């Protein structure tokens, strides 16, 4: 096998949380990326119910797989096996094992965050500067907020992370307090467009720690704001102030990391990377430091199987694969961590 990517067509599966997704890839080219979202169902309960999520994956997995595969011959399967909701992960992992058995092709288990990191490669062509050069990656999702120094596929150093809530969780919890439903990030962003980001003072969290994050104070501050303002609360201004607090906290630490750990490339990935205000601010911060800013198209920010395919493809091309003992794990550190 030559080159950084697996040489044959590859099927990828992602079911770690509330999206059932399957993708077909050839090298770094995403042929199809099918995503069936459960958000409407979880919206009714105001958040994810793990048992309901697993059952919804069971219903969705076959139609999603059939749509992604078509009648294509594939050479391997990449599947998210960690971290995530175990019941949800098991649906994807079991489907991958069954298909691998029937077609007699290898599978590779992929760490969800490694998928987000390499979502950067979607439709990038064969050579991507971040495959040859170290870069800084900010991973911001509903479950994680990690600032990672990426040296090469499979070699990472965590520079900073959240000590409590993730950035996406902060958007989601505040959205619930503002009566905006689940998930909250997109709803907050839309409302914030007509709001004043400086109207309400909200905490930035861990201001004196240059690299770690804390977002749990924001939820409490928004709760106090809702209670103290009552009917007079301007939801647009509250949404804009919340978004500004999150973007500001992230941007400050990213800039410190750029100045201290490498300035060549910065990537922004994960569901919260779909936020335009965050994309604009980090792009500005990057350019101010002579850094190239990279972020995937919106479609590849929130959970999708294409990114799992890319991360899996890089590992398969190195000759790695998993056996049928592949397990679904709720918690697991990013693989290939160095101190
Ligand atoms: O990566 P992802 O799809 O799932 C996890 O791995 O958690 O991220 C989902 C998170 C949710 O918290 C959601 O509110 C947030 O991404 N999100 C956004 C936006 N779109 C999704 N947050 C802010 N602005 C957005 N436009
Ligand atoms: Zn994710």
pLDDT in tens, 95-134: 999 999 999 999 999 999 999 999 999 967 667 889 989 9
CA 186 to ligand 1 center in whole angstroms:
8
DSSP strand E in the chain: where? 10-14, 19-26, 29-37, 76-82, 107-111, 135-140, 145-152, 155-161, 265-269, 292-294
Residue 76 confidence (pLDDT):
98
- For residue 297, the tally of other CB atoms under 10 A from its CB is 10
∠ CA 325-117-204, rounded to 5°: 120
Q: Taking the model in full, what pTM does it have?
A: 0.97
Residue 1 confidence (pLDDT):
42
Q: How far apart are CA 93 and CA 326, in angstroms?
A: 8
Residue 126 confidence (pLDDT):
66
Q: Under DSSP, is residue 260 helix (H, G, I), strand (E, B) or coil? A: helix
Ligand at shortest distance from the CA of 170: 1
Q: Which numbered atom of ligand 1 lies nearest the CA of 143?
A: 7
Mutate to test the pocket of ligand 1, among 19, 191, 271, 303 (most ligand atoms within 8 A of CB): 271
CA 39 to ligand 1 center in whole angstroms:
11
Protein residue with its CA nearest to atom 7 in ligand 1: 142
* Residue 92 CB–ligand 1 contact under 6 Å: no
Burial label for 230, CB within 10 Å (0-12, 13-18, 19+), is exposed
Mean pLDDT for the chain overall? 95
Residues in the chain, pLDDT under 50: 1
* Residue 176 CB–ligand 1 contact under 6 Å: no
* Residue 15 CB–ligand 1 contact under 6 Å: no
Q: Under DSSP, is residue 270 helix (H, G, I), strand (E, B) or coil? A: coil
Is residue 222 within 8 Å of residue 242, measured between CB atoms? yes
Q: Report the interhelical angle of 185-192 vs 167-177 (nearest 10°).
A: 70
CA 234 to ligand 2 center in whole angstroms:
31
Ligand at shortest distance from the CA of 270: 1
Is residue 147 within 8 Å of residue 136, measured between CB atoms? yes
Mutate to test the pocket of ligand 1, among 171, 189, 331 (most ligand atoms within 8 A of CB): 171
* Residue 84 CB–ligand 1 contact under 6 Å: no
CA 80 to ligand 2 center in whole angstroms:
10
- 186 phi, psi to nearest 5 deg: -65, -40
Mutate to test the pocket of ligand 1, among 38, 168, 219 (most ligand atoms within 8 A of CB): 168
Q: Which numbered atom of ligand 1 lies nearest the CA of 274?
A: 26
* Residue 275 CB–ligand 1 contact under 6 Å: yes
Mutate to test the pocket of ligand 1, among 183, 277, 306, 308 (most ligand atoms within 8 A of CB): 183
* Residue 302 CB–ligand 1 contact under 6 Å: yes
């Amino acid at each position: 096998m030559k080159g950084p990517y697996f040489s044959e067509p590859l099927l990828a599966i992602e079911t770690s949380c509330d999206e059932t997704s399957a993708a077909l890839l050839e090298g770094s080219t995403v042929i199809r990326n099918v995503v069936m979202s459960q958000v409407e169902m979880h919206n009714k309960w105001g958040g994810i119910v793990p048992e309901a999520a697993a059952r919804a994956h069971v219903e969705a997995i076959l139609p999603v797989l059939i749509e992604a595969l078509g009648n294509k011959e594939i050479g391997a399967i990449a599947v998210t096996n960690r971290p995530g909701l175990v019941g949800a992960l098991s649906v994807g992992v079991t489907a991958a094992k069954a298909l691998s058995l029937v077609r007699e092709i290898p599978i590779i288990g992929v760490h969800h965050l490694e998928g987000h990191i390499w979502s950067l490669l979607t439709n990038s062509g064969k050579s991507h500067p971040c495959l040859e050069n170290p870069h800084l990656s900010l991973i911001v999702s509903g479950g994680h907020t990690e600032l990672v120094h990426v040296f090469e596929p499979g070699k990472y150093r965590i520079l900073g992370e959240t000590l409590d809530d993730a950035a996406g969780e902060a958007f989601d919890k505040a959205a619930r307090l503002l009566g905006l439903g689940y998930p909250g990030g997109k709803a907050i962003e839309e409302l914030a467009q007509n709001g004043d980001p400086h109207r309400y003072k909200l905490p930035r969290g861990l201001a004196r720690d240059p690299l770690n994050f804390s977002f749990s104070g924001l939820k409490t501050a928004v709760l106090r704001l809702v209670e103290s303002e009552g009917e007079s609360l301007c939801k647009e201004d509250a949404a804009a102030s919340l978004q500004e607090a999150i973007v500001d906290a992230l941007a400050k630490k990213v800039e410190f990391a750029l100045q201290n750990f490498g300035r060549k490339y910065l990537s922004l990935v994960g569901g919260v990377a779909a936020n335009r205000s965050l994309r604009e601010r980090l792009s500005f911060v990057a350019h101010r430091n002579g850094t190239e800013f990279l972020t995937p198209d919106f479609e590849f920010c929130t959970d999708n199987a294409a990114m799992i395919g890319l991360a899996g493809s890089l590992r398969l091309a190195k000759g790695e694969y998993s056996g049928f003992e592949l397990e679904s794990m709720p918690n697991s550190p990013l693989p290939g961590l160095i101190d």
